[in-house]
Structure 1
């Protein structure tokens, strides 16, 4: 697994970031509140797509949510798709009531 850092971006946003040297090659932007983590956007640079980096970002976000006892609102299309494909893996943290409809 790549080294994933958690960074505060400001304006209520944070991100899980993968860097290769000084270059950011993957990022998952999230918002945090007392009981929720909202996943907004996941992006991997085109040259690094298909190498599992988005999955690593997802795993880091899920670990963070579980450690901090947060429910996840998956507004990011990638995160939402993964939660819907594998509901048994995310049942404990998935805030279905506030997720985008099918």
Structure 2
């Protein structure tokens, strides 16, 4: 079973990290400033590709943004592509 943790430094830079059995298999690199969550990169380890981990990271990030009433600036190509593919689903949090 995988778990996702938001791990930030004191400047609020960090990532949503996905772990399975204590091993980090994916990350979504972010920074938070006031009510803006900027997503820079999403990556999954090669041995974990094809298991839906990028989607799980996206779901956790959007849940976090909504719970904390934040807007998302999707600089990450993966996140931006998902927002463009389903604009209605992300309209409430998409900082264009």
- Say whether the fold is shared (TM-score over 0.5): yes
- The runs of 5 or more residues in structure 2 that have no matched partner are none
Equivalent residue for 2:8? 8
Equivalent residue for 1:51? 51
| Pairwise CA distance, 1:10 | 5.0
| Pairwise CA distance, 1:35 | 1.4
Correspondence list, 1:9-88, <5 A: 9=9, 11-88=11-88
CA distance in 2, matches of 1:90, 1:40: 17
Q: 1:25·1:45 contact (CA, 8 Å) conserved in 2?
A: yes
Moved more, 6-15 or 53-62: 6-15
Q: 2:2·2:21 contact (CA, 8 Å) conserved in 1?
A: no
The number of equivalent residue pairs is 96
Give the TM-score normalised by the residue count of structure 1: 0.87
CA distance in 2, matches of 1:2, 1:20: 4
Give the TM-score normalised by the residue count of structure 2: 0.93
Q: Report the secondary structure of 1:3's partner residue.
A: strand
| Pairwise CA distance, 1:6 | 1.1
